[in-house]
Amino acid sequence: MPVAPTVLEENLARYLKPDGTLARAFVSFKDIASRCDTRLFETGFPLIGQRIESGSKVVSVEIGELVLQFFRLPPLPGVPPSQLPQSLDECHRGLRHVHWHKMTYFEGTLTQSGGDCSVRDVNVVLSPARTYCDM
């Protein structure tokens, strides 16, 4: 009498290795370092795992994706390490503040009566308000 083929149930146990790991991802920081200097960089890496097939055959498969956010803050001269951001949230908040302080809120022409000039083009940056002139 022929033996019926064994059908393995689709469950998490089929993907676990004997040491209990589910998958692994290979991440090389040197490949992405230039894209995360002083800015947030998000990327995904494939999760490679193993699945047990019928007959105790093991097959390597991509079972998911690991999405990571990277941010590298280079050493800042004169700033002690204790004053540097200690988390990704602090870095993100600091970048938003820098962006806000560098945003130009008004551009126009400033005139004055007397002095050495009559008309200057002015950009106003509010951080408190200050003006500067591109001469």
pLDDT in tens, 63-114: 889 999 988 888 788 888 888 888 888 888 888 888 877 777 766 666 666 6
In 3D space, the residue among 85, 92, 131, 86 whose CA is nearest the CA of residue 108 turns out to be 131
Two tokens, residue 2 = 């022929």
Q: Hey, where are the domains in the chain?
A: 13-74+81-102, 104-135
Please, are residues 99 and 126 in contact by the beta-carbon 8 Å criterion? no
Per the CB < 8 A criterion, the answer to whether 70 and 91 are in contact is no
Sequence-distant (≥ 6) Cβ neighbours of residue 98 within 8 angstroms = none
pTM confidence score: 0.57
The stretch 3-8 carries a mean pLDDT of 65
Residue 1 has pLDDT above 80, yes or no: no
Q: What is the pLDDT of residue 43?
A: 92
DSSP per-residue string spanning 77-107:
TT--GGGS--SHHHHHHHHHHHHHHH-EEEE
Question: Rounded to an integer, what is the distance from CA 28 to the centroid of its chain?
Answer: 15
Q: What is the pLDDT of residue 65?
A: 93
pLDDT digits over 17-53, tens only? 888 888 899 888 888 888 988 888 999 999 998 888 7
